[in-house]
Structure formats: structure tokens, C-alpha cells
């Protein structure tokens, strides 16, 4: 059993590699082999950038072997509500985990985020040559059910389900007030703006919608706080927040797409879970993750070890301050261009401490550095001294802390729901004492 990986770079899709499964279990060995023709077409061997399927599978005539199901596949497959929708559509919900995943690879991976897709999936889904346009209000009112509605109207909907994450999401194109689905836009002029559209989680109660509203506001405030500090986030000028009968949809501009000379290009994108080859939802030690990531990407990035550490630590610092406890390894990714790997902009950044399902931190520091949700960055900086000067790292966090002054007022002014701003477990009213506890501010 095998599938073919295709990669987009240089303005076109390439048949890049074959992925072969030795058995029909999640624990069966898997081999990734690049096609000889593909290798000969490229000048650089051993590269791990956008021309490779994964940071863990460098361009080489020597195959890459995985002891079990590779984490890179989890980056490609739909999850959450999209996964459930596909399993029902393919009538495989009753099958074994392996058979479910193979069915998804072969049918639902024609247009994931990033520049990697499964050829068999494109053969089955990208068959229609016309595009159906819908009113934006159709999406706003129908929410995730828009997917079924568009499918019933004859739209090719496979390209809408390529976003990861538990929250309901769709990948949509927007031109003025019209929406369409296009999973095969790469290498062509882009007529619309590409959006990742999110809907409220769980039972879509008021608190679930408030969390989604807050996420949209968070990006606006982050853009001000992080100005000039090299940590990227969403472009607030392109973010849309629309509402119908109390149900919110958050429209976020995609950052895995680049327009060059009027043509849309897909950028490589790989999550931390994929790079460290860890299972979805697995708990990890921050120190181990930092060391593993840097060992793998240090030769293919413009970042110094100091800059890498600052960007990583800043993300955890901000997660703690803003109450984003959903800090697993698919919520931080890296963008891959030719000969350059860098952090993706901050995304999936929401006050998940307010979520009724009590989402907890999966990536934590050692016990001596983090206990009961309290993190001491002064000690962390000392531990990371071989990679970054401790004083420099603390000064960097202090600068962010200064910019977070009056954060509750800034959030309220930007339209953040009051119940989020004053949510007890987030504690935005007590930032100064938090900064002291974290070691980034003197008493």
C-alpha cells in the first residue's frame, strides 16, 4: 500500500516521493522514497526546506524510514469536525484507525495548508473545472454546515477542509462579498483573498463565541505589542469578524500563500509535532522541544540561536499572559521557503483557559521551572544560556511586558468581551504581580 506525495515550488506541483506502508496497523513501519527524476531535477541534495516533504526527510536517494505512522501525515489530514465529516462521507467511521487514516489520505488531502499534498486525493477531488460562488452570508449563517450546503449545490468542497485543529474551520476564498472554494489555486493568478474561517467550538454557547471573538481581538492587540520585535502575527487589516444570531465566524488571512508576479505560490509549513515526530496531543518538555527543533533546523534558517530562543520563549510567555492554555505542538509551526525555515506567525491564539472543557497546557517546563501554572523565566533563561544570553532574553521579555501595560483596557477598547477580560483564571487584572512571579519584573 502506498501513496504519492506532491510538493509545490518553483511555480508548479511536482511528483516528489512515494510513501509505502509495510502493514495495515498504525504501528507498521513506513518508508518515504524520493523519486529519482525529482532528485535529478533539483540542484540541492540533503535540503530540508520547501523542496523536501519534511524536515525529517531530507532530499536523498536513501529512503527515510519511520518505525510507525509518521507525524508529518497528521499535519495533512483533516481533524476535528472536518475529520468527522469526511469519515461519514467515505463511510469508514467503523473501520480501524489505520484504515480510517488511509481513506483520509487518499480522499481528503488534496489541499492541506502548506505545499505538500497527496496525489491520489487530488485525482479524486479536483475534477470539476467550474467554480460556484456563494454569498458570504451563506457562510455566516450556516457556519460549518456551509460545507454540506456547498457540496449539495455541486461545489468541489475537498479544498475547504485542509485546516488543522479541533475547532470547526474552513479554507475559503473571498472576493468582495462572494465566497468560493478552490483547493487548486497554486500556480495561477489569485482572484480572491484566501481565508481560514473559524467557528465556535463545543456547543457554540455564548462563552464559546466570546472566546472566538477574543481571538480576533487578540491578534489586533498583539500586532501593536509585537511591532518591531520580530515575532509575527496575523495582519489585523485583513481579519474579519462576522456574526449571525449570536454565532461568530472569524476570518483569518492565510499565511502559507505568497503572491509573486501576480501568481499564487504555496509555502511549506510544518508543525512542531511533525518536526519532532510526536503523536497528536502528546505532552512535551519545552527544553527537549527547543533542543530538538534547533538541532534539526539550525543549518536552514537565518535565525541565530539567540533569535530562535527569543521567538520560542516569547510565544510561551504570551500564551501564559493571555490565557492560551492550548499550547500543543500543532499550534506552532514553521514556514519553509527555499533555503530558509522560520517561525510561522502566531495563530490559534485564544483565551482557552475560559473554555468550559478546561483545556490544559501540554507543553510545559521542568518541575523546577514551572509549577501549578507558574513559570519562572529567570531560571529558564539561565538554563538556556548556551543558546541565548540570559540578560538579553530577560530584557526581551521585559520589553514585551512594558508594552502589555494596561492590557485589559486595550482589549476592551478593541472589542474583547468583558467576561474574557475579567475571567478569573486568566488574571489579566493582575499582570504586574504575574510579571514579578515570572522573574521579568522587580517587586
Mean pLDDT of 322-333: 95
The secondary structure of residue 251, as a DSSP letter, is E
Is 120 a residue whose pLDDT tops 90? yes
Q: What are phi and psi of 252, to 5 degrees?
A: -110, 130
Q: E-strand spans in 181-293?
A: 193-199, 240-244, 247-253, 257-260, 263-266, 268-271, 284-285
Please report the pLDDT score of residue 182 as a whole number. 86
Regarding whether 340 and 203 lie in a shared domain, the answer is: no
Terminal-residue alpha carbon distance, the chain: 62
Does residue 386 lie in a domain region? yes
Regarding whether 212 and 337 lie in a shared domain, the answer is: no
Mean pLDDT of 59-86: 94
Does residue 262 lie in a domain region? no
Does residue 158 lie in a domain region? yes
Please report the pLDDT score of residue 129 as a whole number. 55
Q: What are phi and psi of 370, to 5 degrees?
A: -140, 125
Please report the pLDDT score of residue 387 as a whole number. 98
Is 183 a residue whose pLDDT tops 80? yes
* Residues 299, 55 contacting (CB under 8 angstroms): no
Regarding whether 347 and 228 lie in a shared domain, the answer is: no
Residues β-bridged to residue 197: 170, 251
Confidence band, pLDDT 50/70/90 cuts, at residue 274: very high
Please report the pLDDT score of residue 237 as a whole number. 94
3-state secondary structure of 308: helix
Regarding whether 243 and 283 lie in a shared domain, the answer is: no
Regarding whether 422 and 314 lie in a shared domain, the answer is: yes
Does residue 260 lie in a domain region? no
* Residues 223, 233 contacting (CB under 8 angstroms): yes
Q: Which of 123, 141, 156 is the last residue of a domain?
A: 123
> Which residue range is the domain that position 392 belongs to?
267-438
**What's the total number of domains in the chain?**
3
Is 221 a residue whose pLDDT tops 70? yes
Please report the pLDDT score of residue 165 as a whole number. 63
Please report the pLDDT score of residue 36 as a whole number. 96
Please report the pLDDT score of residue 124 as a whole number. 64
Regarding whether 271 and 241 lie in a shared domain, the answer is: no
Regarding whether 148 and 98 lie in a shared domain, the answer is: no
**Residue 386 CB neighbours (<10 A):** 8
Confidence band, pLDDT 50/70/90 cuts, at residue 162: low
Give the three cell numbers for residue 360. Answer: 490544559
In Å, the largest CA–CA distance within the chain is 65
Is 157 a residue whose pLDDT tops 90? no
In the chain, the percentage of residues whose pLDDT exceeds 70 is 95
Query: What span, in angstroms and rounded, lies between the C-alpha atoms of 391 and 394?
Result: 5
Is 130 a residue whose pLDDT tops 80? no
The secondary structure of residue 227, as a DSSP letter, is T
Regarding whether 103 and 135 lie in a shared domain, the answer is: no
Beta strands 284-285 and 363-364 are: parallel
Please report the pLDDT score of residue 155 as a whole number. 63
Query: What span, in angstroms and rounded, lies between the C-alpha atoms of 68 and 29?
Result: 5
* Residues 439, 394 contacting (CB under 8 angstroms): yes
pTM: 0.95
How buried is residue 336: exposed, middle or buried, by Cβ count under 10 Å (0-12/13-18/19+)?
A: buried
Regarding whether 129 and 91 lie in a shared domain, the answer is: no
Q: Which of 108, 123, 138 is the last residue of a domain?
A: 123
Please report the pLDDT score of residue 43 as a whole number. 79
Does residue 443 lie in a domain region? no
Say which range, 60-69, 123-132, 325-334, 336-345, has the weakest mean pLDDT: 123-132
Strand order in the sheet with 240-244: 134-135, 178-180, 169-175, 193-199, 247-253, 240-244
Helix, strand, coil percentages for the chain (3-state, nearest 5) = 35, 20, 40
Confidence band, pLDDT 50/70/90 cuts, at residue 144: confident
Query: What span, in angstroms and rounded, lies between the C-alpha atoms of 363 and 325?
Result: 9
Does residue 279 lie in a domain region? yes
Mean pLDDT of 217-240: 95
| Mean pLDDT for all residues in the chain | 93
Regarding whether 223 and 138 lie in a shared domain, the answer is: yes
Is 126 a residue whose pLDDT tops 70? no
Does residue 290 lie in a domain region? yes
Q: Which of 202, 231, 253 is the last residue of a domain?
A: 253
In the chain, the percentage of residues whose pLDDT exceeds 90 is 76
Mean pLDDT of 276-303: 97
- pLDDT tens digits, residue range 89-117? 999 999 999 999 999 999 999 899 999 99
Say which range, 97-101, 245-249, 338-342, has the weakest mean pLDDT: 245-249
DSSP one-letter string for 34-68 = E-HHHHHT-S-SS--STTSSBTTB-S-SSPEEESS
Regarding whether 73 and 31 lie in a shared domain, the answer is: yes
* Angle of helix 390-403 versus helix 206-225 axis, rounded to 10: 120
How buried is residue 231: exposed, middle or buried, by Cβ count under 10 Å (0-12/13-18/19+)?
A: buried
Mean pLDDT of 331-347: 97
**Residue 145 CB neighbours (<10 A):** 13
Is 128 a residue whose pLDDT tops 60? no
Does residue 414 lie in a domain region? yes
Mean pLDDT of 240-260: 94
Regarding whether 247 and 372 lie in a shared domain, the answer is: no
Amino acid at each position: 500500500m502506498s501513496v504519492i506525495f506532491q510538493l509545490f515550488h518553483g511555480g508548479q506541483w511536482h511528483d516528489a516521493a512515494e510513501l509505502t506502508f509495510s502493514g495495515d496497523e498504525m504501528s507498521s513501519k513506513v518508508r518515504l522514497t524520493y523519486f529519482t527524476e525529482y532528485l535529478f531535477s533539483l540542484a540541492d541534495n540533503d535540503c530540508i526546506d520547501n523542496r523536501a516533504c519534511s524536515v525529517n526527510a531530507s532530499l536523498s536517494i536513501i529512503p527515510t524510514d519511520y518505525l510507525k505512522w509518521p507525524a508529518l501525515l497528521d499535519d495533512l489530514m483533516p481533524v476535528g469536525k472536518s475529520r468527522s465529516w469526511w469519515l461519514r462521507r467515505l463511510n469508514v467511521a467503523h473501520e480501524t484507525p489505520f484504515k480510517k487514516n488511509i481513506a483520509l489520505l487518499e480522499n481528503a488531502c488534496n489541499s492541506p495548508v502548506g505545499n505538500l499534498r497527496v496525489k491520489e486525493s487530488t485525482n479524486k477531488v479536483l475534477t470539476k473545472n467550474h467554480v460556484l460562488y456563494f454569498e458570504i452570508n451563506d457562510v455566516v449563517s450556516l457556519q460549518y454546515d456551509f460545507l454540506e450546503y456547498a457540496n449539495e449545490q455541486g461545489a468541489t468542497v475537498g479544498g475547504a477542509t485542509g485546516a488543522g485543529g479541533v475547532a470547526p474551520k474552513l479554507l475559503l476564498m473571498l472576493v468582495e462579498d462572494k465566497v468560493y472554494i478552490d483547493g487548486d489555486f497554486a500556480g495561477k493568478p489569485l482572484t480572491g483573498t484566501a481565508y481560514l474561517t473559524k467557528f465556535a467550538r463545543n456547543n457554540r454557547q455564548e462563552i464559546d463565541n466570546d472566546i472566538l471573538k477574543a481571538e480576533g481581538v487578540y491578534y489586533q492587540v498583539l500586532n501593536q505589542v509585537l511591532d518591531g520585535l520580530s515575532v509575527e502575527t496575523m495582519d489585523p487589516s485583513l481579519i474579519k469578524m462576522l456574526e449571525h444570531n449570536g454565532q461568530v465566524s472569524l476570518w483569518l488571512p492565510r499565511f502559507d500563500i505568497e503572491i509573486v508576479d501576480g501568481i499564487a505560490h504555496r509555502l511549506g509549513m510544518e508543525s512542531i509535532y511533525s518536526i519532532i515526530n510526536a503523536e497528536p496531543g502528546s505532552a512535551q518538555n519545552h527544553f527537549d522541544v527547543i533542543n530538538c527543533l534547533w538541532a534539526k533546523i539550525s543549518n536552514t534558517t537565518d535565525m541565530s540561536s539567540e533569535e530562535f530562543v527569543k521567538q520560542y520563549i516569547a510565544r510561551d510567555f504570551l500564551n501564559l499572559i493571555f490565557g492560551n492554555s492550548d499550547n500543543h505542538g500543532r499550534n506552532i509551526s514553521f514556514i519553509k521557503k527555499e533555503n530558509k525555515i522560520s517561525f510561522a506567525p502566531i495563530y490559534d491564539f485564544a483565551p482557552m483557559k475560559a473554555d468550559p472543557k478546561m483545556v490544559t497546557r501540554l507543553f510545559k517546563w521542568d518541575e523546577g521551572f514551572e509549577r501549578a501554572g507558574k513559570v519562572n523565566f529567570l531560571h529558564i533563561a539561565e538554563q538556556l544560556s548556551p543558546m541565548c544570553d540570559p540578560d538579553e532574553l530577560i530584557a526581551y521579555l521585559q520589553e514585551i511586558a512594558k508594552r502589555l501595560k494596561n492590557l485589559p483596557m486595550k482589549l476592551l477598547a478593541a472589542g474583547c468581551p468583558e467576561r474574557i477580560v475579567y475571567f478569573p483564571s486568566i488574571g489579566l487584572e493582575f499582570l504586574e504581580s504575574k510579571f514579578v512571579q515570572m522573574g521579568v519584573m522587580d517587586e
